Chains A and B, each alone.
Chain A
Amino acid sequence: MDLDVDRRALAAVSAGGVLGALARYAIGAAWPHTSSEFPWSTWLINVSGCFLIGVLFTLLAHFRPGHRLTRLFLGTGLLGGYTTFSTAEVEVQHATPAIGLGYLAATITGALLAVWAGSTLAALGTRPRHEAPVDAR
């Protein structure tokens, strides 16, 4: 099957992924936790990454709709490499039942609220300041 994948796209995703993963590693190293503690560093990483992807994809759709490489570098690469699903799931599995359930719920709730908030705030920012009322047009 011909996927028609160009090397620039792969390079953009790869470079972004490296930067995102390094940022995630740095936060995890600065804020470690044991299996009896709530994994705040991963929670923060995933929730902030979801907020940022909401902002990014909303702004790109408005200002740079055709900019595929920017979307691939920053969205698929950087934020995709920064956030992690596998670590979150394994941390739930390794935690005590109470912490695991609380962490699972806090991550999915925080992530969905964050992506919605990021996108909504970015959409507000893209509106013209002096928009004429619809009826007056």
Chain B
Amino acid sequence: MTLLLVALGAAIGAPLRYLTDRYVQARYGTGFPWGTLAVNAVGSLVLGFLLGQPLSPGLTALLGTGFCGALTTYSTFSWETLTFARRGEQATAVAYVLVSLLTGLGAASLGAITAQAL
């Protein structure tokens, strides 16, 4: 049962990440990975919120492990950073890493604080 819930969450989270990336690229171009940054921040916010709540193991599997886990990505983020570095855009690579980590941590904390306030 838990496996099915993880699978269901991921079946929605992964294509939502892809669609977000496509949408952001169509609108803002391919210069900076705003799409990956956005899904990683939103996923961290939602997961921070969820884990700050009393949540059943089933919902944790569906929304946490499945949906948020598949919505966010470390592999694409690191590939994009490597691509900047190889193009000689070291400053952009460093900025992308710092902005991603700080936004993610801030979003996770904001989610947890919101969960406590409710």
Check: A87 CB closer than 8 A to any chain B CB. Answer: yes
Q: Is the CB of B74 within 8 A of A83?
A: yes
Q: What sequence of 0s and 1s flags, for each residue 6-23 of chain B, a beta carbon within 8 Å of any chain A beta carbon? A: 110111111101110011
Q: Does A54 contact B (CB under 8 A)?
A: yes
Are A24 and B104 closer than 8 Å at their CB atoms? no
Please give me the residue from chain A that is nearest to B42 by CB atom: A86
Q: Which residue of B lies closest to A105 (CB)?
A: B101
Q: In the bound complex, how far is the Cα of B104 from the Cα of A116, in angstroms?
A: 23
> Which residues from chain B contact A25 at a C-beta distance below 8 Å?
2-3, 6, 61, 65
Main secondary structure of the interface of A (DSSP, over half): helix
Interface of B toward A, CB cutoff 8 Å: 2-3, 6-7, 9-15, 17-19, 22-23, 26-27, 40, 43-44, 46-48, 51, 61, 64-66, 68-79, 81-82, 97, 100-101, 104-105, 107-109, 112
Report the minimal beta-carbon distance from A1 to chain B, rounded to whole angstroms: 6
Q: Is the CB of A85 within 8 A of B77?
A: yes
Cβ-based interface call for A33 (8 A): no
Q: CB-nearest residue of chain B relative to A21?
A: B10
Whether B82 pairs with A93 at a CB distance below 8 angstroms is: no
Q: Is the interface of B mostly helix, strand, loop or mixed?
A: helix
- Contact check, A81 vs B69: say whether CB atoms are below 8 A apart: yes
Alpha-carbon distance between A95 and B52 when the two chains are bound, in angstroms: 14
Q: How far does the alpha carbon of A64 sit from the alpha carbon of B74 in the complex, in Å?
A: 24
> A residues within 8 A CB of B79?
50, 53-54, 57, 115
